[in-house]
Chain A
Amino acid sequence: MDVSLDLLMNAVISGLLLGGFYAAVSIGVAISFGMLDIVNIAHPAFILLGSYVAYIANTMLGIDPILAAVIVLPAFYLLGMAVYQVYYVAFERRDDQSLRGLSFFFGLLFIAEVGLILVFGVDYRSVSARYIGPSLQLVLFDLPWRLLVPFLVSMVMAVGLQVFLSRSFLGRAIQAVAQDQLALQLMAANPVKIKRIAFGLSIATASLAGACLIIIQPVEPSIGREYIGRVFAICVLGGLGSFPGMIIAAMTLGIVESLTSTFFGPSWAPAVAFGVLLVTLAVRPSGILGR
């Protein structure tokens, strides 16, 4: 009994930390899908791109992965703006987001995956940093720094974006853009420009999320796909566009996955997100905090 309680405790703690990291992965989609109504299923591909950038910086230049992610943040932001520009011209303006817009992102996902395979091969890649390995020893349990650092990065990112979105003019304009484009135009703000900035931000988060990913686990090009189900399960469960809801949903999924890994084996974990997603869509499509 003692052992299983210990096991349970550890599973919940690491699930919580993992969930914090999932929030970092999902926050970009919470912006693009939740606020801009752009179903960017290629988001995990951008995250993997972030992982590989961190990998190069780390192995070739010896830079800390998180620091590397911060340095390339502007580049990811510009990349996001460019992708949105193409999406806007080719699909949003033609009012053809569903069939062809979705296929566009699916194509990007695939091209990114194959491109990464061509460059890096299918081997697992990892980074080295001082906090990968040791744990923070507490009385009842250990907190591995490998999970703690991404958790902290994720929370800082979430709080920062939340403050930006609720306090600044631009942030409020982003929150308004999906709901009322006309009102925005009356405020002399160009909805396309605002969406471009917001989409840039959403891709910028992928840089940090990617660094966190490669700190938590070694990566290879196809693991991005596993995150599609996770990310959208989290965003739908959290109620689209709400950061607090998303964080709660991310932690819930993290804990459920961690419990599943502990008690049924890690190979079952990817199925959890799908179950959560389907149940949410079937029972409560507006999410846990939804109206």
Chain B
Amino acid sequence: MRGTPFILILIAVAGVVFGLARWLDNSYAFFVGYVVVQYIVLGTAWNILGGYTGYVNFGITAFFAIGAYSSVVLHKLVPTLPLPAMIVVGGVMAGIVGVGTGYLTLRLRGVYFSIATLALAVVVQTLITNWDFVGGARGAYVLRPRTAPLIGGGYIDYLFLIMLGLCVAALATARAIERSSLGFGFAAIRDDEAAAEASGVPTLRLKLIATGLSGGFMGMAGAPLPFYVTYLDPASGFSLNYAVNAIAMPLIGGTSSWLGPVVGAVLVGGLQEYLRVTISSAVNVLVAGVLMVMFVIIAPQGIVGLFQRKRR
């Protein structure tokens, strides 16, 4: 396997990060770390479709919440089900919704897909608000175990570890795509769809693969959320912050490689946390939006792009 060294390095980095958090032995570090790593996953997921194929998904909250609410449902039905299994289910559900939405709209110009995903976020929220089983508009409480399975310590340690694992999987997938024929096909679609078809690229199938993968990872990122927040209601599960951050971070970091969403998530996520503590939580959510608008206007290649351009 060509990607093996990369995966090993990722695992090593994730291990060091986790070890560091354990050494600090501070639950705040875990809570902040969880959020930043979650945004790396979300940003990477968005970038697989948005950055690689050029199709803009605004319905991140729909996919994210499908993952989160799958866990709520599963937790009510089978309370003993381990979290990784819930993540798989949440990812598959979100992936299916992604492929379905894509199948209906991806034959048209890209903007129609974007508009459809915006509307999708509203409709999934409406469905869940009206679904009493998961608490409807009132929301649902999820009791999380006091201690972590397997590794001991607080449950947040376990959640952080799980999210780190997801992050490794998402980044390895993104990088593998970049270097495979799939990645070249995606780039061809982004640059010129008609020319891609004429060169033998099955554009619709590739776009569906990208939508499925992208939606799937968003769903997986959402699956542990109920255990992280312990109380989930539609207003917080569908918060626009998730969508804006997931789009802003790749655009700020750079959309052309797997590194972009990582850089964006760490920088913006860190800055937001800093502002939340020092100024106020209202200002910290504005940051991603303002930075995103500034970056798309002034530095459309993102931070990673700025360095790459010098190399070319």
A and B touch in the complex (CB under 8 A): yes
What is the interface of chain A, defined by CB distance below 8 A to chain B?
39, 41, 86, 90-91, 94, 96, 98-104, 106-108, 110-111, 113-115, 117-118, 222, 225-226, 228-229, 232-233, 236, 265, 267-268, 270-271, 273-275, 277-278, 281-282, 285
- CB of B160, distance to nearest CB on chain A (Å): 28
Q: Check if A232 sits within 8 Å of B119, measured CB to CB.
A: yes
Cβ–Cβ < 8 Å partners of A41 in chain B: 58, 114-115, 118
CB-CB nearest in chain A for B115:
A232
The residue from A101, A271, A281 contacting B123, defined by CB atoms under 8 A apart: A271
Whether A111 contacts B286 in the complex (CB less than 8 A), given A90-B297, A94-B300, comes out as: yes
8 Å CB contacts to A: which residues of B93-118?
A: 101, 104-105, 108, 110-112, 114-116, 118
Say yes or no for B91: interface residue by CB 8 A criterion. no
CB-CB nearest in chain B for A117:
B282
Cβ–Cβ < 8 Å partners of A115 in chain B: 286
Complex CA distance for A96 and B244, rounded to whole angstroms: 19
The residue from B50, B119, B292 contacting A228, defined by CB atoms under 8 A apart: B119
CB-CB nearest in chain B for A102:
B56
Complex CA distance for A236 and B58, rounded to whole angstroms: 18
Cβ–Cβ < 8 Å partners of A39 in chain B: 111, 114-115
Q: Check if B123 sits within 8 Å of A103, measured CB to CB.
A: no
Closest 4 CB pairs of A and B: A229-B119, A274-B123, A107-B293, A274-B119
Complex CA distance for A192 and B121, rounded to whole angstroms: 34
The residue from A90, A91, A229 contacting B118, defined by CB atoms under 8 A apart: A229
Whether A281 contacts B251 in the complex (CB less than 8 A), given A86-B297, A111-B293, A271-B126, comes out as: no
Complex CA distance for A128 and B108, rounded to whole angstroms: 44
Say yes or no for B206: interface residue by CB 8 A criterion. no
Beyond A106-B244, A278-B101, 12 additional contacts (C-beta under 8 Å) are: A39-B111, A91-B296, A98-B56, A100-B300, A103-B247, A110-B240, A110-B244, A111-B290, A222-B240, A228-B115, A228-B119, A273-B119
Q: Check if B108 sits within 8 Å of A281, measured CB to CB.
A: yes
CB-CB nearest in chain B for A227:
B122
- CB of A47, distance to nearest CB on chain B (Å): 15
The residue from B105, B288, B297 contacting A278, defined by CB atoms under 8 A apart: B105
CB-CB nearest in chain B for A41:
B118
Say yes or no for B285: interface residue by CB 8 A criterion. yes
Complex CA distance for A136 and B129, rounded to whole angstroms: 35
Q: Check if B292 sits within 8 Å of A103, measured CB to CB.
A: yes
- CB of B110, distance to nearest CB on chain A (Å): 5
Q: Which has the most chain A C-beta neighbours within 10 Å: B283, B290, B297?
A: B297
Say yes or no for B130: interface residue by CB 8 A criterion. yes
Cβ–Cβ < 8 Å partners of A236 in chain B: 112, 115
Contact with A along B111-150 (1 / 0, CB 8 A): 1101110111111011101100000010000000000000
Cβ–Cβ < 8 Å partners of A106 in chain B: 58, 243-244, 247
The prevalent SS among residues of B at the interface is helix
- CB of B81, distance to nearest CB on chain A (Å): 29
Complex CA distance for A106 and B119, rounded to whole angstroms: 13
CB-CB nearest in chain A for B251:
A103
The residue from B115, B123, B285, B296 contacting A100, defined by CB atoms under 8 A apart: B296
CB-CB nearest in chain B for A113:
B240
Q: Check if B293 sits within 8 Å of A277, measured CB to CB.
A: no
Cβ–Cβ < 8 Å partners of A274 in chain B: 116, 119-120, 122-123
The residue from B50, B129, B130, B289 contacting A111, defined by CB atoms under 8 A apart: B289
The residue from B54, B104, B129, B130 contacting A99, defined by CB atoms under 8 A apart: B54
Complex CA distance for A254 and B138, rounded to whole angstroms: 28
Q: Check if A270 sits within 8 Å of B296, measured CB to CB.
A: no
Whether A114 contacts B286 in the complex (CB less than 8 A), given A107-B244, A270-B122, comes out as: yes
Cβ–Cβ < 8 Å partners of B92 in chain A: none
- CB of B269, distance to nearest CB on chain A (Å): 16
- CB of B140, distance to nearest CB on chain A (Å): 17
Say yes or no for B255: interface residue by CB 8 A criterion. yes
Complex CA distance for A234 and B290, rounded to whole angstroms: 30
Whether A102 contacts B282 in the complex (CB less than 8 A), given A233-B119, A282-B105, comes out as: no
- CB of A15, distance to nearest CB on chain B (Å): 18
- CB of B185, distance to nearest CB on chain A (Å): 18
Say yes or no for B210: interface residue by CB 8 A criterion. no
Cβ–Cβ < 8 Å partners of A103 in chain B: 56, 247, 251, 292, 296
Cβ–Cβ < 8 Å partners of B289 in chain A: 107, 110-111, 114
Complex CA distance for A38 and B72, rounded to whole angstroms: 40
Cβ–Cβ < 8 Å partners of A104 in chain B: 293, 296-297
8 Å CB contacts to A: which residues of B268-295?
A: 282-283, 285-286, 288-290, 292-293
Say yes or no for B248: interface residue by CB 8 A criterion. yes
- CB of A26, distance to nearest CB on chain B (Å): 13
Whether A267 contacts B129 in the complex (CB less than 8 A), given A90-B296, A103-B247, A285-B108, comes out as: yes
The residue from A102, A114, A225, A229 contacting B111, defined by CB atoms under 8 A apart: A102
Contact with A along B235-247 (1 / 0, CB 8 A): 0000010011001
Whether A99 contacts B244 in the complex (CB less than 8 A), given A118-B282, A225-B122, A229-B119, comes out as: no
- CB of A229, distance to nearest CB on chain B (Å): 3
Cβ–Cβ < 8 Å partners of A232 in chain B: 115, 118-119
- CB of B281, distance to nearest CB on chain A (Å): 11
Q: Check if B56 sits within 8 Å of A114, measured CB to CB.
A: no
- CB of B284, distance to nearest CB on chain A (Å): 10
CB-CB nearest in chain B for A278:
B104
